[in-house]
Structure formats: C-alpha cells, structure tokens
A and B are shown apart, each in its own frame.
Chain A
C-alpha cells in the first residue's frame, strides 16, 4: 500500500531517519515499535505528509506522495494524532462529521451523513453522539477521534500512539476496532505503539526501529524473537507463546 524508499530526515543538525526502505503490506495491520527517539513517529508523520522528507521518497500504491494534492491525499489516507487537551465546543457528532471534509468540503450530503452514522455505530458511540467532546473522558474522546478517522473512509489509516494514557479497557476497544477495520473492510492500518504485547497480539506486521533505521520487519512471528527484541530495546526479553497469543516478559529483574 505505502512504500518507503531511501528515506532520510533530520531536525536542525540531528539525523532522525537515515536510509529507510520498507513496504507496509496492503490490507494488513502494521505496528511500528522501538525505543523513544528511534524515529517511529517521524516516519509516520512523513507518511502522513505532515513533514517533508529531506531525502528519499514515499509512494502510495506506486504513486509518489508529492504528486498528490492535499485533498486527494486526505481522501486516501486518514491520520490520527493525540489530543492532549481539547477545548472546542463541538458535539461528538459534529466532530465525526469533520471526517467527511475531504469528500464534502463541508456540505454534507446523504452519503456523508450515512458515513458519519456508520462510523459512530461502528465504535458503539451512539449513546454519546449529542455530548460535547470536551466533556468526554479521555478514552471516550480518543474513540470519538477514531470515529472521525473512520468516517473519512480511506483505505489507509495512520495512527500515532493512540493508546497513550488510556486504561486497558479503552486500549483494547481501540485495538479491536482497528483489527476489525482490517478484517472486515480491508483497510490498511499503520500505528506507532509502545505496548509490545498489544502490538504482538493484534498486528499482522511489525516494523522495529532503532537509531533512525529499520532494525527488523516482517510478520509478527518473525519479529517476536527474544534476542531480536532484546537488541531493539536494549533489555532482556523473553517472548512466550500462550493460548495462541504472545506474552513478552521484560519486567523481571535479574
């Protein structure tokens, strides 16, 4: 779906990404993992066109990103970042309707309204639709933003640490919703995530980054290796398989 070619980026004198080459498989759920400062978020922001790359190229379905207009891009790629504080007086429904902007330019037609309803129902937010977003709890608010992203109805979704500060219930809600988007609607999902256990159990594809380079990438089973993850994070890792899922033990003090 989206491929990265010899991509480099730096902030004032400091190299953040150097020579990244990787492909994110279409219709799969990919997780970007790595330590703080490894360049995960920068890579995601470059894919989302929030930043301009210093060198290299990104292609969306074979087409260089730079050739798409902002609007065309927004019709194909939805991006969600974190909202640490949100003070706008908007109802949840109004917020979700923003997701239709790339298609409708603000004039909501019947198809747009259907998409909004669908996104709200998809995440089970119907009971909250008239509530003001600034009065929702952190988890509900994040779900509301995810609903906006879903209403955008793009084949590709990019998410930057959407689980930060969420309780486990809301975190699992979001992971399940994303999993279903892949399975039921064939969406491609790429997310930056810190919780390695959630990544291992919900994603299909993992890209592990270290010091601005792709350290390893592949199917979950290929990347979820004790030695490999130990290298990525500089910790002792013990990957265990239990009941068809993964559990990583990196807590034990030795």
Chain B
C-alpha cells in the first residue's frame, strides 16, 4: 500500500472535499420540498436552482442518496421508444445526458455503445420497423438492420439463439449508451448543493399537511416544515405517500431484478436487448456484464432477490452467448418499479394544489433523469405542466387518453 494512502487512512482529518453538505437541522420553511433524493429529485432541485433561481429548496431522503431505482437500474440510456410522445421526451433526455459530464465537471463514464433490440419473430420485426419509422420521423437515429449487420457489430452472438428462436433482425439505435448511474445522482446533488439546495438524508416523510386543497407543509421524523410546493419523486415508494394526500393512481409495485457477472476482458461493445427473451446485457467499464430481465410476475414491496430470476436470465443469456457457460454471477439485486398500465410515467400537476407528481417510472426511470429534472423544475416554477410532459398527466386515465408505450423494457412484443 502506498505510504500516502496509509497515512491518509490513519489520519483523523480527511481533507477530501465532500460532494455535498449534511445540514444539521431542517429550516422552518422552504419554497419547495422535494421528496426523494434519487436522480429525479436531485435533478429537479438542480434545475430549479440553476434555471429558475429557486434555491430555498430541501430534498428529503428516507435512506441515502441514489439508493433506490437510481442505483439499481442497468444504466442504459436510449430514445428509441414507440409513441411520438415518448420518443420526443426521451430524445431530449439523451441530448441532455451527452453534455452532463461537462456540466457537472464530473466523469459520468457516459459511453455511447449502439443499442440493438433483437427480433425473434415476424411480429416483433414488425414492431421494430414501426419503432424505427416513428424514431426517424422525429429525428432519432434508429433503423431496422439484418442479421449480417448484427453479426458484424457483435461477432460473439449466436444468431440461431440455441436453435429455438433464431434472431431475424434488430432495431439498431446508434446513440444508445450506458452511464455510471450513481455519479448522475452525485453530480446533480453536488450541483444543487453548491447553489444552495439542502439535501437531508435519513429524513423520512411521515405526513403531508393539506389545508383545503392546498399543500401547506411536510411532517418528517425530524420535525415539520412549512412549504407550499411538494414534489413527489420516490418511484417505487409512491403509493404510501399518495395515501397521505388521498390521491388514487393506477400504480402497481413490482420488483425488477438485475445482476452482474464477474469482470471479463472487454468483448461486448454494444448493448444487446431481446424483448422476447426478456434480457438486456451490456459490459460496464469495469468489465462486468450488467444484465436485467423482466418484472417479477406479481406485486411485492420488497427488494429481495430470487434464484428463479438468475436461473431464467442465465438460460436466456446462454441462448445468445453460449461461451459464457463458465462465467460466474457476482451479485444480484432488485429495485421497486412503479408500473402504469400504459408503460408511460405520471408527471405534472395533481388534484392537490402544490403537490407535483413525478411517478410511474417502472423500468424506464434512469434514462429520463435529466429531462425529468428539466420538465419538473419548469412545472414547479411555473405551476403549469411543461409541454413535453403534458401527455403524461395523471388525468389521462380518467379521460381515456393513454400513451401506450410498448417500447419500454420488459414489455413483450
């Protein structure tokens, strides 16, 4: 061990600058209280302070920064969705992601890889063509490619897929990327903190004060604060919070599991996704294969992992990459997905004045982090929904105007 490191480790005084402060006490009142210090909450705080000059903001977090969906996803960023509403929204997010490292002065390991969604049947080939056409129409780089192209970009793949579901083609999305998800939360957190936002970890919201139809404050395990604006950005933990203000939604909570393999030498450049096999895989900058599957088959509010999942996922991974037979799974985990019936988020105003929703993030939350911050901060500052999120309003269910997003991960075709 280098001498300097040893001395640093043993010294009582740590000179390394902290990413953000830990304020000891909550103030009496804030202009905006954001519940949930994940990527979305911190991004909202960041843009509120940077673009709208609102800095008297508290971000309350029950556990620790980025410990929910932000730290549990498979870190894929893409915009090749199916609905025009979805494509426009996620495309803006991809654009924001590309400048984010420079914005934060923090390396997010943003790595553009190219993203393949494999089709194993005529039906899914048709959906891929549909997605490609919608994407191209909206200016998103995306096209249908044949098997020779896939083989050229990813020589290790077994296109016969073990013989039972041969790959017939794919949707190819060159801007598809991966990023270091924790760093996204830290970057937004640090940027918000530097602009005066307070981040309070270990602060659980126990009640939301409403008078008439208006939000007036938030009760926490560390005291009560006054505020007229509350943003709910807690993804898988949304329903209990909404019970506090009496808002009903279609959200159902289902775990989404993922795992990483032991590190391997770099061999997989691209991101490979198969909706039919319920599999997505990419290789991180540390060499681990990061893989995920579909949602667990029934609702549970628990981040437990199952052997069923690893068995199923490994089987499908071997169908595409048989040479991975001896590779070991290093760890697995689960996150809570708040799923909507149309696979689109629920964002914007709510029936309670001053209570803003950023929910319904199912399996598509991480890639939307920057655009959520942008649009939610606008929505909170102006008290009207940003045009990009207008289609995702809660009232769309009552109005039977759903946004059927079948380009979402874990939706079979």
> Are A and B associated in one complex?
no
